[in-house]
Amino acid sequence: MAAVSEFDLWVQGKRQAYVEAAMGLRAAMARVRELGVELTPPQGDWSRRQRWTPQQLRAMAEVARLWDRVITTRIAMDEALDLAAPGQGSGNTARGTG
């Protein structure tokens, strides 16, 4: 069995952090739906005043926090993959997309 380098373990850790964040976000979004919160406005009507319970607001705040975590861990994972294979890149960077 080949030895795994410290760098490879670091890259693997970045990937695992992203997967865990995405799974947490999925669970939080399910919780918001269970509480009866629609994440999109009915027929695009944002002017309709909605009243949320404190429990619903906390659940929505958790979704927002986890979205931030997913985005930051995805950026870190992409940067780690770019370092691991500098010639190939992660395929998710803005370079060369135009």
pLDDT tens digit string along 25-52?
A: 999 989 988 988 876 666 666 666 677 7
Question: What is d(CA 92, CA 17) in angstroms, rounded to the nearest whole number?
Answer: 17
pLDDT averaged over consecutive 10-residue blocks of the chain (98 residues)? 78 92 91 82 64 86 92 92 74 47
Report the predicted TM-score, pTM, of the whole model to 2 decimal places: 0.64
Query: Where exactly are the structural domains of the chain?
Result: 13-37+53-87
Question: What is d(CA 29, CA 44) in angstroms, rounded to the nearest whole number?
Answer: 20
Per-residue confidence (pLDDT) for residue 49, from 0 to 100? 65
